[in-house]
Amino acid sequence: MSLSLIGIIVVQIYWITNSINYNDEQFSFAVKQTMVSVATALENKEIGNYQIAKEALNDSLGGNVEQVTLRQLLLAQQNRSLIENSTLNNNPLKEDYKLDPQVTDLDLDSITFKRLFDSQGDPGRQEKNSKNIRIRDFELDNYARMKTAERASEYFSILPLPQRVSTQGVSDLIAEELKKQQIDAKFEFAIYQDGFATRVQSDGFTYIEDATWDYPIFRTSNDSVEPYYLYISLPQRKKVILSSIMGMALLSLVFTTVIVVAYSSAISQIFKQRQISQIKTDFINNMTHEFKTPIATINLALDSLNHPKISSDAEKVKTYLRMIREENKRMHGQVENILQISKLEKNDLNLTKERIDMNLLIQESIAHVELLLEGKNGTIKTHLGALRTVILGNESHMTNVIVNILENAIKYTEEAPIIDVYTENVKNKLVIKVRDQGIGMAKSAQRKAFQKFFREHTGDIHNVKGHGLGLAYSKRILEDHEGEIYVQSIKGKGSTFSVHLPIIV
Protein backbone atom coordinates (compact mmCIF):
# COMPACT_ATOMS: atom_id res chain seq x y z
CA MET A 1 0.00 0.00 0.00
CA SER A 2 2.84 2.37 0.83
CA LEU A 3 4.65 1.62 -2.43
CA SER A 4 1.42 2.08 -4.40
CA LEU A 5 0.76 5.43 -2.70
CA ILE A 6 4.31 6.60 -3.41
CA GLY A 7 3.87 5.46 -7.03
CA ILE A 8 0.64 7.47 -7.35
CA ILE A 9 2.35 10.60 -5.99
CA VAL A 10 5.34 10.14 -8.33
CA VAL A 11 3.02 9.67 -11.32
CA GLN A 12 1.09 12.82 -10.38
CA ILE A 13 4.31 14.84 -10.10
CA TYR A 14 5.52 13.41 -13.42
CA TRP A 15 2.21 14.24 -15.11
CA ILE A 16 2.16 17.80 -13.77
CA THR A 17 5.81 18.36 -14.79
CA ASN A 18 5.15 17.03 -18.29
CA SER A 19 2.02 19.16 -18.59
CA ILE A 20 3.97 22.27 -17.62
CA ASN A 21 6.72 21.48 -20.14
CA TYR A 22 4.16 20.74 -22.87
CA ASN A 23 2.20 23.94 -22.18
CA ASP A 24 5.48 25.86 -22.17
CA GLU A 25 6.33 24.53 -25.61
CA GLN A 26 2.83 25.28 -26.86
CA PHE A 27 3.04 28.78 -25.42
CA SER A 28 6.40 29.45 -27.10
CA PHE A 29 5.05 28.07 -30.38
CA ALA A 30 1.97 30.31 -30.15
CA VAL A 31 4.14 33.39 -29.48
CA LYS A 32 6.37 32.55 -32.44
CA GLN A 33 3.30 32.11 -34.64
CA THR A 34 2.14 35.51 -33.43
CA MET A 35 5.47 37.08 -34.41
CA VAL A 36 5.36 35.44 -37.84
CA SER A 37 1.84 36.78 -38.37
CA VAL A 38 2.84 40.28 -37.22
CA ALA A 39 5.92 40.28 -39.47
CA THR A 40 3.82 39.05 -42.40
CA ALA A 41 1.19 41.73 -41.78
CA LEU A 42 3.84 44.48 -41.70
CA GLU A 43 5.42 43.13 -44.88
CA ASN A 44 2.05 42.88 -46.61
CA LYS A 45 1.34 46.49 -45.75
CA GLU A 46 4.65 47.61 -47.28
CA ILE A 47 4.14 45.36 -50.29
CA GLY A 48 0.77 46.99 -50.86
CA ASN A 49 2.18 50.51 -50.51
CA TYR A 50 5.09 49.62 -52.78
CA GLN A 51 2.79 48.21 -55.45
CA ILE A 52 0.61 51.33 -55.30
CA ALA A 53 3.66 53.60 -55.62
CA LYS A 54 4.98 51.52 -58.52
CA GLU A 55 1.67 51.59 -60.36
CA ALA A 56 1.37 55.34 -59.80
CA LEU A 57 4.89 55.95 -61.15
CA ASN A 58 4.40 53.63 -64.09
CA ASP A 59 1.13 55.38 -64.92
CA SER A 60 2.82 58.79 -64.69
CA LEU A 61 5.51 57.78 -67.18
CA GLY A 62 3.09 56.33 -69.66
CA GLY A 63 3.41 52.69 -68.72
CA ASN A 64 6.37 51.90 -70.96
CA VAL A 65 9.23 51.94 -68.47
CA GLU A 66 11.38 48.86 -67.96
CA GLN A 67 11.31 47.16 -64.54
CA VAL A 68 14.94 47.97 -63.74
CA THR A 69 14.52 51.61 -64.65
CA LEU A 70 11.22 51.76 -62.76
CA ARG A 71 12.88 50.39 -59.62
CA GLN A 72 15.69 52.94 -59.89
CA LEU A 73 13.18 55.79 -60.40
CA LEU A 74 11.26 54.70 -57.29
CA LEU A 75 14.43 54.82 -55.21
CA ALA A 76 15.43 58.15 -56.73
CA GLN A 77 11.97 59.53 -56.02
CA GLN A 78 12.25 58.48 -52.41
CA ASN A 79 15.70 60.08 -52.06
CA ARG A 80 14.53 63.28 -53.72
CA SER A 81 11.54 63.54 -51.42
CA LEU A 82 13.77 63.20 -48.37
CA ILE A 83 16.17 65.87 -49.64
CA GLU A 84 13.35 68.28 -50.45
CA ASN A 85 11.71 67.77 -47.06
CA SER A 86 15.02 68.37 -45.35
CA THR A 87 15.67 71.56 -47.38
CA LEU A 88 12.19 72.96 -46.82
CA ASN A 89 12.48 72.42 -43.09
CA ASN A 90 16.01 73.92 -43.02
CA ASN A 91 17.19 70.78 -41.20
CA PRO A 92 20.04 68.51 -42.20
CA LEU A 93 19.19 64.94 -42.95
CA LYS A 94 18.83 62.94 -39.77
CA GLU A 95 20.82 59.80 -39.24
CA ASP A 96 17.63 57.80 -39.61
CA TYR A 97 17.34 58.88 -43.25
CA LYS A 98 19.71 56.72 -45.25
CA LEU A 99 20.07 57.82 -48.90
CA ASP A 100 20.91 55.06 -51.29
CA PRO A 101 24.30 55.82 -52.91
CA GLN A 102 23.31 53.85 -55.98
CA VAL A 103 20.59 56.33 -56.92
CA THR A 104 21.76 59.68 -55.54
CA ASP A 105 24.04 60.10 -58.58
CA LEU A 106 21.70 58.33 -60.97
CA ASP A 107 22.23 59.51 -64.55
CA LEU A 108 18.82 59.13 -66.10
CA ASP A 109 17.27 60.88 -69.04
CA SER A 110 16.26 64.39 -67.94
CA ILE A 111 13.06 64.14 -70.02
CA THR A 112 12.09 61.08 -68.02
CA PHE A 113 12.71 62.88 -64.74
CA LYS A 114 10.82 65.89 -66.02
CA ARG A 115 7.84 63.76 -67.00
CA LEU A 116 7.96 62.06 -63.63
CA PHE A 117 8.12 65.09 -61.41
CA ASP A 118 5.89 67.26 -63.60
CA SER A 119 3.23 64.62 -63.38
CA GLN A 120 3.63 64.57 -59.63
CA GLY A 121 3.22 68.33 -59.48
CA ASP A 122 0.14 68.39 -61.71
CA PRO A 123 -2.91 68.45 -59.41
CA GLY A 124 -5.18 67.14 -62.11
CA ARG A 125 -2.86 64.31 -62.89
CA GLN A 126 -2.48 63.48 -59.19
CA GLU A 127 -6.26 63.40 -58.78
CA LYS A 128 -6.56 61.12 -61.79
CA ASN A 129 -3.88 58.80 -60.42
CA SER A 130 -5.47 58.70 -56.96
CA LYS A 131 -8.77 57.64 -58.54
CA ASN A 132 -7.06 54.85 -60.44
CA ILE A 133 -5.08 53.63 -57.42
CA ARG A 134 -6.76 51.54 -54.73
CA ILE A 135 -5.53 49.22 -52.04
CA ARG A 136 -6.06 45.63 -53.02
CA ASP A 137 -4.72 42.17 -52.26
CA PHE A 138 -1.89 41.09 -54.51
CA GLU A 139 -2.13 37.42 -55.27
CA LEU A 140 1.49 36.35 -55.64
CA ASP A 141 3.20 33.00 -55.33
CA ASN A 142 5.76 32.49 -52.57
CA TYR A 143 8.80 33.30 -54.70
CA ALA A 144 7.22 36.37 -56.27
CA ARG A 145 6.01 37.56 -52.90
CA MET A 146 9.49 37.14 -51.40
CA LYS A 147 11.09 39.15 -54.20
CA THR A 148 8.40 41.82 -53.98
CA ALA A 149 8.86 42.00 -50.22
CA GLU A 150 12.60 42.49 -50.66
CA ARG A 151 12.04 45.30 -53.17
CA ALA A 152 9.45 46.93 -50.96
CA SER A 153 11.78 46.71 -47.98
CA GLU A 154 14.60 48.17 -50.07
CA TYR A 155 12.29 50.94 -51.25
CA PHE A 156 11.26 51.90 -47.74
CA SER A 157 14.63 51.17 -46.07
CA ILE A 158 15.84 54.75 -46.54
CA LEU A 159 12.96 55.98 -44.40
CA PRO A 160 13.28 56.12 -40.62
CA LEU A 161 11.48 53.24 -38.92
CA PRO A 162 8.84 55.48 -37.24
CA GLN A 163 7.69 56.54 -40.74
CA ARG A 164 7.36 52.94 -41.82
CA VAL A 165 5.46 51.65 -38.76
CA SER A 166 3.89 53.24 -35.72
CA THR A 167 4.24 52.04 -32.15
CA GLN A 168 0.48 51.89 -31.73
CA GLY A 169 0.05 50.01 -35.00
CA VAL A 170 2.55 47.33 -34.01
CA SER A 171 0.98 47.06 -30.55
CA ASP A 172 -2.49 46.60 -32.02
CA LEU A 173 -1.21 43.93 -34.43
CA ILE A 174 0.49 42.00 -31.62
CA ALA A 175 -2.58 42.24 -29.39
CA GLU A 176 -4.82 40.99 -32.20
CA GLU A 177 -2.56 38.05 -33.05
CA LEU A 178 -2.10 37.07 -29.38
CA LYS A 179 -5.86 37.07 -29.01
CA LYS A 180 -6.14 34.72 -31.99
CA GLN A 181 -3.64 32.42 -30.28
CA GLN A 182 -5.77 32.60 -27.10
CA ILE A 183 -3.00 34.19 -25.06
CA ASP A 184 -4.45 36.60 -22.55
CA ALA A 185 -1.37 38.20 -20.99
CA LYS A 186 0.29 41.58 -20.75
CA PHE A 187 3.05 42.04 -23.32
CA GLU A 188 5.84 44.48 -24.12
CA PHE A 189 7.61 44.85 -27.46
CA ALA A 190 10.50 46.63 -29.19
CA ILE A 191 12.08 46.72 -32.64
CA TYR A 192 15.88 46.51 -32.74
CA GLN A 193 18.36 47.13 -35.54
CA ASP A 194 21.97 46.02 -35.39
CA GLY A 195 21.56 45.28 -31.69
CA PHE A 196 20.23 48.75 -30.80
CA ALA A 197 16.70 49.66 -29.84
CA THR A 198 14.70 51.93 -32.15
CA ARG A 199 12.06 54.44 -31.11
CA VAL A 200 9.34 51.91 -31.98
CA GLN A 201 8.86 50.15 -28.66
CA SER A 202 6.49 50.01 -25.72
CA ASP A 203 7.24 52.05 -22.61
CA GLY A 204 7.79 49.10 -20.29
CA PHE A 205 9.87 46.84 -22.51
CA THR A 206 12.61 44.92 -20.71
CA TYR A 207 14.50 41.99 -22.10
CA ILE A 208 13.73 38.89 -19.99
CA GLU A 209 15.93 35.88 -20.62
CA ASP A 210 13.25 33.18 -20.63
CA ALA A 211 10.23 35.28 -21.59
CA THR A 212 11.39 37.23 -24.68
CA TRP A 213 11.19 36.09 -28.32
CA ASP A 214 12.59 37.73 -31.48
CA TYR A 215 11.80 37.50 -35.17
CA PRO A 216 13.23 39.38 -38.22
CA ILE A 217 11.00 41.86 -40.06
CA PHE A 218 11.43 43.93 -43.25
CA ARG A 219 13.90 41.43 -44.70
CA THR A 220 15.96 42.61 -47.66
CA SER A 221 18.58 41.14 -49.95
CA ASN A 222 20.71 44.29 -49.56
CA ASP A 223 23.60 43.31 -47.27
CA SER A 224 24.37 46.96 -46.53
CA VAL A 225 21.03 47.36 -44.76
CA GLU A 226 20.92 45.87 -41.26
CA PRO A 227 17.75 43.82 -40.69
CA TYR A 228 15.19 44.77 -38.08
CA TYR A 229 14.19 42.37 -35.31
CA LEU A 230 10.89 42.42 -33.48
CA TYR A 231 11.15 41.48 -29.79
CA ILE A 232 8.10 40.50 -27.75
CA SER A 233 8.33 40.08 -23.99
CA LEU A 234 5.63 38.40 -21.85
CA PRO A 235 6.57 38.84 -18.16
CA GLN A 236 3.55 36.76 -17.08
CA ARG A 237 4.66 33.72 -19.04
CA LYS A 238 5.00 31.38 -16.02
CA LYS A 239 1.70 32.57 -14.55
CA VAL A 240 -0.14 31.89 -17.82
CA ILE A 241 1.45 28.45 -18.20
CA LEU A 242 0.67 27.45 -14.62
CA SER A 243 -2.88 28.81 -14.80
CA SER A 244 -3.58 26.58 -17.78
CA ILE A 245 -3.11 23.45 -15.67
CA MET A 246 -3.95 24.89 -12.27
CA GLY A 247 -7.47 23.46 -12.21
CA MET A 248 -6.44 19.88 -12.95
CA ALA A 249 -3.36 20.17 -10.72
CA LEU A 250 -5.47 21.37 -7.77
CA LEU A 251 -7.97 18.56 -8.28
CA SER A 252 -5.12 16.08 -8.47
CA LEU A 253 -3.60 17.56 -5.32
CA VAL A 254 -6.92 17.44 -3.46
CA PHE A 255 -7.62 13.82 -4.41
CA THR A 256 -4.05 12.77 -3.62
CA THR A 257 -4.30 14.54 -0.25
CA VAL A 258 -7.55 12.71 0.49
CA ILE A 259 -5.89 9.40 -0.37
CA VAL A 260 -2.86 10.20 1.81
CA VAL A 261 -5.05 11.27 4.74
CA ALA A 262 -7.28 8.20 4.38
CA TYR A 263 -4.24 5.95 4.13
CA SER A 264 -2.61 7.57 7.17
CA SER A 265 -5.85 7.23 9.10
CA ALA A 266 -6.12 3.55 8.14
CA ILE A 267 -2.54 2.87 9.22
CA SER A 268 -3.14 4.76 12.48
CA GLN A 269 -6.29 2.73 13.14
CA ILE A 270 -4.42 -0.50 12.43
CA PHE A 271 -1.75 0.37 14.99
CA LYS A 272 -4.35 1.53 17.51
CA GLN A 273 -6.32 -1.68 17.10
CA ARG A 274 -3.14 -3.65 17.52
CA GLN A 275 -2.30 -1.70 20.67
CA ILE A 276 -5.85 -2.13 22.02
CA SER A 277 -5.66 -5.85 21.33
CA GLN A 278 -2.37 -6.05 23.21
CA ILE A 279 -3.77 -4.02 26.11
CA LYS A 280 -6.85 -6.24 26.20
CA THR A 281 -4.71 -9.36 26.29
CA ASP A 282 -2.52 -7.91 29.04
CA PHE A 283 -5.61 -6.89 31.02
CA ILE A 284 -7.12 -10.37 30.83
CA ASN A 285 -3.80 -11.92 31.88
CA ASN A 286 -3.36 -9.51 34.77
CA MET A 287 -6.98 -9.91 35.90
CA THR A 288 -6.61 -13.70 35.79
CA HIS A 289 -3.52 -13.59 37.96
CA GLU A 290 -5.12 -10.99 40.25
CA PHE A 291 -8.20 -13.16 40.90
CA LYS A 292 -6.41 -16.50 40.86
CA THR A 293 -4.86 -16.12 44.32
CA PRO A 294 -8.00 -15.05 46.26
CA ILE A 295 -10.11 -17.71 44.51
CA ALA A 296 -7.54 -20.38 45.36
CA THR A 297 -7.40 -19.12 48.96
CA ILE A 298 -11.21 -19.20 49.26
CA ASN A 299 -11.36 -22.72 47.82
CA LEU A 300 -8.66 -23.89 50.20
CA ALA A 301 -10.49 -22.34 53.15
CA LEU A 302 -13.78 -23.97 52.15
CA ASP A 303 -12.09 -27.37 51.79
CA SER A 304 -10.56 -26.93 55.21
CA LEU A 305 -13.90 -26.02 56.77
CA ASN A 306 -15.34 -29.27 55.41
CA HIS A 307 -12.65 -31.26 57.23
CA PRO A 308 -14.04 -32.78 60.50
CA LYS A 309 -11.06 -31.71 62.60
CA ILE A 310 -11.22 -28.09 61.39
CA SER A 311 -14.99 -27.76 61.59
CA SER A 312 -14.92 -28.83 65.22
CA ASP A 313 -12.35 -26.16 66.12
CA ALA A 314 -14.17 -22.84 66.54
CA GLU A 315 -10.99 -20.71 66.40
CA LYS A 316 -9.84 -22.25 63.15
CA VAL A 317 -13.32 -21.88 61.65
CA LYS A 318 -13.27 -18.23 62.65
CA THR A 319 -9.82 -17.78 61.07
CA TYR A 320 -10.83 -19.36 57.79
CA LEU A 321 -14.06 -17.35 57.65
CA ARG A 322 -12.08 -14.14 58.18
CA MET A 323 -9.73 -15.22 55.38
CA ILE A 324 -12.67 -15.87 53.05
CA ARG A 325 -14.17 -12.48 53.91
CA GLU A 326 -10.89 -10.61 53.28
CA GLU A 327 -10.23 -12.33 49.94
CA ASN A 328 -13.82 -11.70 48.88
CA LYS A 329 -13.47 -8.07 49.89
CA ARG A 330 -10.25 -7.89 47.88
CA MET A 331 -11.93 -9.21 44.72
CA HIS A 332 -14.87 -6.88 45.30
CA GLY A 333 -12.45 -3.94 45.48
CA GLN A 334 -10.85 -4.90 42.16
CA VAL A 335 -14.25 -5.14 40.47
CA GLU A 336 -15.23 -1.80 42.02
CA ASN A 337 -12.12 -0.15 40.55
CA ILE A 338 -13.08 -1.34 37.06
CA LEU A 339 -16.66 -0.11 37.52
CA GLN A 340 -15.47 3.28 38.78
CA ILE A 341 -13.29 3.75 35.71
CA SER A 342 -16.27 2.93 33.50
CA LYS A 343 -18.45 5.43 35.38
CA LEU A 344 -15.78 8.12 35.13
CA GLU A 345 -15.56 7.71 31.35
CA LYS A 346 -19.35 8.04 31.07
CA ASN A 347 -19.38 10.98 33.53
CA ASP A 348 -21.83 9.01 35.66
CA LEU A 349 -19.77 9.38 38.85
CA ASN A 350 -21.22 12.24 40.89
CA LEU A 351 -18.62 13.56 43.31
CA THR A 352 -19.71 15.41 46.44
CA LYS A 353 -16.95 17.89 47.28
CA GLU A 354 -16.09 19.47 50.61
CA ARG A 355 -13.17 21.18 52.33
CA ILE A 356 -10.32 18.72 52.88
CA ASP A 357 -7.02 19.21 54.71
CA MET A 358 -4.63 17.25 52.53
CA ASN A 359 -1.98 16.91 55.27
CA LEU A 360 -4.48 14.95 57.37
CA LEU A 361 -5.68 12.97 54.34
CA ILE A 362 -2.10 11.98 53.54
CA GLN A 363 -1.63 10.68 57.09
CA GLU A 364 -4.83 8.63 56.79
CA SER A 365 -3.74 7.27 53.40
CA ILE A 366 -0.42 6.14 54.86
CA ALA A 367 -2.35 4.25 57.54
CA HIS A 368 -4.20 2.34 54.78
CA VAL A 369 -0.95 0.93 53.37
CA GLU A 370 0.80 0.18 56.67
CA LEU A 371 0.12 -3.55 56.49
CA LEU A 372 1.42 -3.74 52.90
CA LEU A 373 4.45 -1.66 53.92
CA GLU A 374 5.19 -3.87 56.93
CA GLY A 375 5.02 -6.95 54.75
CA LYS A 376 8.04 -5.62 52.83
CA ASN A 377 9.77 -4.04 55.83
CA GLY A 378 9.46 -0.57 54.30
CA THR A 379 9.25 2.96 55.71
CA ILE A 380 7.45 6.15 54.72
CA LYS A 381 8.90 9.52 55.72
CA THR A 382 6.70 12.62 55.56
CA HIS A 383 7.95 16.15 54.85
CA LEU A 384 4.75 18.17 55.04
CA GLY A 385 6.08 21.65 54.50
CA ALA A 386 2.98 23.22 52.93
CA LEU A 387 1.26 25.90 55.04
CA ARG A 388 -1.92 26.07 52.95
CA THR A 389 -3.30 22.57 52.49
CA VAL A 390 -7.09 22.93 52.25
CA ILE A 391 -8.70 21.95 48.94
CA LEU A 392 -12.25 21.41 47.71
CA GLY A 393 -12.68 17.71 46.90
CA ASN A 394 -14.18 14.33 47.59
CA GLU A 395 -12.46 12.73 50.58
CA SER A 396 -13.06 9.11 49.56
CA HIS A 397 -11.75 9.48 46.01
CA MET A 398 -8.82 11.68 47.00
CA THR A 399 -7.86 9.05 49.57
CA ASN A 400 -7.94 6.43 46.79
CA VAL A 401 -5.65 8.63 44.66
CA ILE A 402 -2.98 8.95 47.38
CA VAL A 403 -3.32 5.26 48.32
CA ASN A 404 -2.88 4.20 44.68
CA ILE A 405 0.33 6.24 44.38
CA LEU A 406 1.69 4.88 47.65
CA GLU A 407 0.78 1.28 46.73
CA ASN A 408 2.61 1.64 43.41
CA ALA A 409 5.67 2.97 45.25
CA ILE A 410 5.59 -0.09 47.51
CA LYS A 411 4.78 -2.69 44.84
CA TYR A 412 7.41 -1.50 42.35
CA THR A 413 10.29 -1.63 44.84
CA GLU A 414 12.15 -4.93 44.89
CA GLU A 415 13.89 -4.42 48.23
CA ALA A 416 12.57 -2.76 51.41
CA PRO A 417 10.67 0.34 50.20
CA ILE A 418 11.92 3.76 51.30
CA ILE A 419 9.30 6.37 50.41
CA ASP A 420 9.34 10.14 50.98
CA VAL A 421 6.17 12.25 50.86
CA TYR A 422 6.51 16.01 50.43
CA THR A 423 3.98 18.85 50.42
CA GLU A 424 4.68 22.46 49.43
CA ASN A 425 2.89 25.53 48.18
CA VAL A 426 3.65 26.83 44.68
CA LYS A 427 1.67 30.02 44.03
CA ASN A 428 -1.99 29.11 44.53
CA LYS A 429 -1.48 25.36 44.33
CA LEU A 430 -0.66 22.54 46.70
CA VAL A 431 2.05 20.23 45.35
CA ILE A 432 2.25 16.68 46.75
CA LYS A 433 5.30 14.61 45.80
CA VAL A 434 5.72 10.89 46.44
CA ARG A 435 9.30 9.73 45.84
CA ASP A 436 10.42 6.10 45.90
CA GLN A 437 13.67 4.25 45.24
CA GLY A 438 12.11 1.46 43.21
CA ILE A 439 12.68 -0.04 39.80
CA GLY A 440 11.72 3.15 37.94
CA MET A 441 10.29 3.47 34.43
CA ALA A 442 11.65 3.93 30.94
CA LYS A 443 10.85 7.12 28.98
CA SER A 444 8.33 5.27 26.81
CA ALA A 445 6.56 3.92 29.88
CA GLN A 446 6.38 7.38 31.48
CA ARG A 447 4.44 8.71 28.49
CA LYS A 448 1.86 5.90 28.83
CA ALA A 449 1.78 5.52 32.61
CA PHE A 450 -1.65 7.15 32.97
CA GLN A 451 -3.31 5.23 30.16
CA LYS A 452 -6.01 2.75 31.11
CA PHE A 453 -4.82 -0.88 31.42
CA PHE A 454 -1.21 0.09 30.71
CA ARG A 455 1.50 -1.78 32.57
CA GLU A 456 5.16 -1.85 31.66
CA HIS A 457 6.05 -5.19 30.11
CA THR A 458 8.10 -7.49 32.33
CA GLY A 459 7.91 -10.57 30.11
CA ASP A 460 5.99 -13.53 31.51
CA ILE A 461 6.74 -12.63 35.13
CA HIS A 462 3.72 -11.40 37.11
CA ASN A 463 5.37 -10.62 40.40
CA VAL A 464 3.49 -7.28 40.61
CA LYS A 465 -0.29 -7.59 40.79
CA GLY A 466 -2.80 -5.14 39.33
CA HIS A 467 -4.89 -4.30 36.29
CA GLY A 468 -3.17 -1.10 35.20
CA LEU A 469 -6.16 0.97 36.34
CA GLY A 470 -4.84 2.74 39.44
CA LEU A 471 -2.98 5.62 37.77
CA ALA A 472 -5.64 6.04 35.06
CA TYR A 473 -8.26 6.28 37.83
CA SER A 474 -6.10 8.77 39.78
CA LYS A 475 -5.57 11.00 36.75
CA ARG A 476 -9.28 11.05 35.97
CA ILE A 477 -10.23 11.92 39.58
CA LEU A 478 -7.61 14.70 39.71
CA GLU A 479 -8.89 16.17 36.46
CA ASP A 480 -12.35 16.29 38.01
CA HIS A 481 -10.77 18.24 40.91
CA GLU A 482 -9.02 20.61 38.41
CA GLY A 483 -5.74 19.03 39.39
CA GLU A 484 -2.82 17.49 37.53
CA ILE A 485 -0.44 14.58 37.99
CA TYR A 486 3.08 14.13 36.58
CA VAL A 487 5.79 11.49 36.83
CA GLN A 488 9.56 11.72 36.67
CA SER A 489 11.50 8.49 36.69
CA ILE A 490 14.92 7.00 36.03
CA LYS A 491 15.14 3.33 35.19
CA GLY A 492 16.62 1.45 38.16
CA LYS A 493 16.71 4.49 40.46
CA GLY A 494 13.09 5.21 41.30
CA SER A 495 10.15 7.47 40.45
CA THR A 496 8.60 10.71 41.70
CA PHE A 497 4.87 11.36 41.29
CA SER A 498 3.75 14.98 41.62
CA VAL A 499 0.13 15.97 42.29
CA HIS A 500 -0.89 19.61 41.77
CA LEU A 501 -4.19 20.76 43.33
CA PRO A 502 -5.76 24.24 43.59
CA ILE A 503 -6.07 25.41 47.19
CA ILE A 504 -8.90 27.39 48.73
CA VAL A 505 -8.82 30.01 51.46
pLDDT of residue 117: 41
Q: In this predicted model, what pLDDT tens digit does every residue of 363-382 receive, in sequence order?
A: 988 888 887 788 788 999 99
Give the number of other Cβ atoms within 10 Å of residue 193's Cβ.
15
Residue 61 contacts residue 116 (beta carbons within 8 Å) = yes
Residue 370 contacts residue 351 (beta carbons within 8 Å) = no
225/228 Cα distance (integer angstroms): 9
Residue 231 contacts residue 205 (beta carbons within 8 Å) = yes
Single-letter amino acid code for the residue at 144 = A
Put simply, whether the predicted model's pTM sits higher than 0.85 gets the answer no
Residue 217 contacts residue 182 (beta carbons within 8 Å) = no
User: What is the DSSP pairing of strand 390-393 with strand 379-384?
Assistant: unpaired
Residue 376 contacts residue 417 (beta carbons within 8 Å) = yes
Q: In this predicted model, what pLDDT tens digit does every residue of 231-247 receive, in sequence order?
A: 999 988 888 888 878 88
Instruction: Name the residue among 439, 475, 478, 477 with its Cα closest to residue 456.
Output: 439
pLDDT of residue 453: 65
pLDDT of 289 over the 70 cut: no
Q: How confident is the model at residue 477 (pLDDT cuts 50, 70, 90)?
A: confident
End-to-end alpha carbon distance in the chain: 60
Domains of the chain: 2-235 (no CATH), 260-342 (1.10.287.130), 351-502 (3.30.565.10)
165/38 Cα distance (integer angstroms): 12
Least confident of 55-64, 403-412, 460-469: 460-469
Sign of CA dihedral 311, 316, 318, 320: negative
The radius of gyration computed from the CA coordinates of the chain, to the nearest angstrom, equals 52
